[in-house]
Amino acid sequence: MFEELNQIKSPITRMIMAGAAAGSIVTCGAAVALGITNAKPESAAYKTAVYAALVATGGGALAGLAASGSKDERPAPQAAAESSIWSDWRNFVVLRKVKESEEITSFYLAPEDGQAIPSFLPGQFLTIKLEIPGQARPIIRTYSLSDDLSDSTNQQYRLSIKREPMPAGSDLPPGVASNFMHDTVQVGTIIPAKPPSGKFFIDPQKTLPAVLISNGVGITPMISMAKACSRLNPNRLIWFVHGARDGRFHAFRDEVSAIAQQNSSLRVHFRYSRPKPEDASHYHSTGYVDAELIERQIRPEVAQSGSAEAEYFLCGSPAFLQAMRDGLKAAGIPDEQVFFESFGGAKVASSIAEPQAAPQNGTGAEIVFAKSGQTLNWQPGDGTILEFAEANDLNPDYSCRQGICLTCMCNLEAGEVEYQTPPVGEPNEGAVLICISKPKSSRVVLDL
Ligand SMILES: Cc1cc2nc3c(=O)[nH]c(=O)nc-3n(C[C@H](O)[C@H](O)[C@H](O)COP(=O)(O)OP(=O)(O)OC[C@H]3O[C@@H](n4cnc5c(N)ncnc54)[C@H](O)[C@@H]3O)c2cc1C
Ligand code: FES
């Protein structure tokens, strides 16, 4: 019954219903007690019962009203994502492959078993596993869900993937998974995926204006957010600010413009860093999306809308994110109003990892990789446990290498680890994320 009360959106209705429910429960209980004891109307027991019913009614009403205070809280990701529908890997078939820009292609995935798929919170991602010829083991990568799963008939997930070229001026190989997706994956290819997950999401039901800021392929979760808000709460003011090099590299331009045409609460600002003459009517300003654009143009528009505050959602390259976060902070926007997700490629994340500090004992640590039957000596400078394992020819699964996706999670059987940065994903009880951790105790035993 209390869960049902929680479903009532209007605080007044919930207050009345909660008061009535609490009052009825206590009145019924009191009536039974009075009946059993055969109490007289003028007796103390009778008066106590009446007062108890009144107090319960008032208390219930107050509790019902208090529950309305949680309306603007972010929902629990797992509950809303219904991810219990499957727990490990589930096969998906590629139904469509659509080129969105010079670099980005979308893949529409439907479950091979033909059963329902759970919805997800706008901004969450899917983790996929690819068997790539020439790779010693499956490659696991994480991709944001780039569409809104608008109704139960739309049983497809959409991933939109940027082809990662080799870094300019280097002889490093191009991105393994993204190039395989672009070049080899076709309609009909089977791709195993884990359930939607992630803590970077918007709550469409909130009333506070939201500013979605992205560059490049960072647009993917923003489309999902903009569509979900337009569908579920079209009065919510949303600014969609996106940066691209020029029209050829601008994915989803028409799709986003179409949502804005149907929903006047969605305001779009496209900024091109190197526009071509043919782009003339398709962008709003020239340069990079930066904090100055937000401060000079978007915040005054938010203020004009009558709201002193907004939520800011950021997604894009690590450099873009860092600059935006620093800029928003300098502009006085509190951290609690800024949410972000970094797409930093798996190998990039690894190569820019901070040097590791020594464990508390200062002399290194013994790490027992229980499943592999290896006991190895970790020294400060050996990096994260994941990097150390790889350097010793162990091949743990990983994807983001940033503590987001949980792919590297493994059970800690003994000892302690410490995190280089706080994990974004929540590891299970007794498990740790080895991509961002290092030993804290002198002996660590991992189920790996
Ligand atoms: C939560 C989340 C959501 C994401 N959503 C999306 C999305 O919607 N769309 C999207 O396109 N991507 C997304 N990503 C990024 C995606 O997961 C992959 O990281 C990306 O596709 C690159 O993977 P890859 O296998 O192609 O490249 P990798 O093989 O991992 O290489 C990454 C880059 O490093 C370079 N490189 C190769 N070897 C080295 C080396 N030894 N040292 C340094 N650099 C090297 C490669 O040339 C490449 O440029 C997301 C990431 C996260 C964490
Ligand atoms: S690899 Fe993603 S959390 Fe560790």
Model pLDDT for residues 294-321, shown as the tens digit of each residue: 999 999 999 999 998 999 999 998 889 9
Expressed in angstroms and rounded, the spacing between residue 168 Cα and the centre of ligand 2 is 26
| pLDDT value of position 308 | 86
| Distance between Cα 424 and ligand 1 center (Å) | 18
Asked whether residue 10 carries a pLDDT value surpassing 90, the answer given is: no
Edge-first strand order for the sheet with 157-162 is: 139-144, 125-130, 190-193, 90-99, 104-111, 157-162
pLDDT for residue 61? 44
Tell me the CA–centroid distance for residue 103 and ligand 1, in Å.
13
Architecture of domain 79-193: Beta Barrel (2.40)
Closest-CA residue, ligand 1 atom 52, reads: 343
Please report, for the chain, the start and end positions of each structural domain, with discontinuous segments joined by +: 2-72, 79-193, 210-344, 365-446
The atom number, within ligand 2, closest to the CA of 400 reads: 2
**Residues near 278 by beta carbon (within 8 Å), at least 6 away in sequence:** 247
pLDDT of res. 70: 37
* Mean confidence (pLDDT) of the chain: 84
Q: What percent of the chain has pLDDT over 70?
A: 76
Confidence (pLDDT) at 342: 87
Q: Is 381 left (phi over 0), alpha (psi -120 to 50) or beta?
A: left
Answer yes or no: is pLDDT of 39 > 50. Answer: yes
- We find that the CATH architecture of domain 365-446 is Roll (3.10)
pLDDT at 86 over 50: yes
User: Distance from first CA to last CA of the chain, Å, rounded?
Assistant: 45
Query: Contact, 150 vs 119, CB < 8 A?
Result: no
Is 60's C-beta closer than 6 angstroms to any atom of ligand 2?
no
Q: What is the pTM of this model?
A: 0.80
Q: What is the whole-number distance in angstroms between the Cα of residue 341 and the centre of ligand 1? A: 14
Q: Name the residue with higher pLDDT: 75 or 423.
A: 423
What is the number of the ligand 2 atom nearest to the C-alpha of 423?
3
**pLDDT tens figures, 402-444:** 998 899 999 999 999 999 999 988 899 999 999 999 999 999 9
Any ligand 1 atom below 6 A from CB of 175 = yes
Residues 200, 121 contacting (CB under 8 angstroms): no
> What pLDDT, on a 0 to 100 scale, did the predictor assign at position 151?
55
If one residue of 397, 404, 420 were mutated to test the ligand 2 pocket, choosing by the most ligand atoms within 8 A of its CB, it would be 404
Instruction: Report whether residue 125 contacts ligand 2, using a CB cutoff of 6 Å.
Output: no
Instruction: Report pLDDT digits (tens) over 188-237.
Output: 999 999 999 998 999 999 999 999 999 999 999 999 999 999 999 999 99
In which element (H, E) is residue 357 found? none
Would you say the CATH fold of 365-446 matches that of 79-193? no
- Give the pLDDT confidence score for residue 42 in this predicted structure: 58
- DSSP3 helix / strand / coil % (the chain, rounded to 5): 35, 25, 40
Instruction: pLDDT band for 362, please (50, 70, 90 cuts).
Output: low
Q: What tens digit of pLDDT does each residue of 135-148 get?
A: 988 999 999 999 99
Q: Which helix or strand (DSSP H or E) is residue 281 part of? A: none
Going by pLDDT thresholds of 50, 70 and 90, the confidence category of residue 122 is: very high
**Tens-place pLDDT, residues 241-272:** 999 999 999 999 999 999 999 999 999 999 99
Check: CB of residue 94 under 8 Å from CB of residue 187: yes
438 has which bridge partners? 418
| CA of 433 relative to ligand 1 center, distance in Å | 19
Question: Residue 365 and residue 376: Cα distance in Å, rounded?
Answer: 8
Residue matched to tokens 């393994």: 176
Mean pLDDT of 112-121: 91
Sequence-separated (6 or more) residues with CB below 8 Å from residue 414: 368, 443, 444, 445
Domain 210-344, architecture per CATH: 3-Layer(aba) Sandwich (3.40)
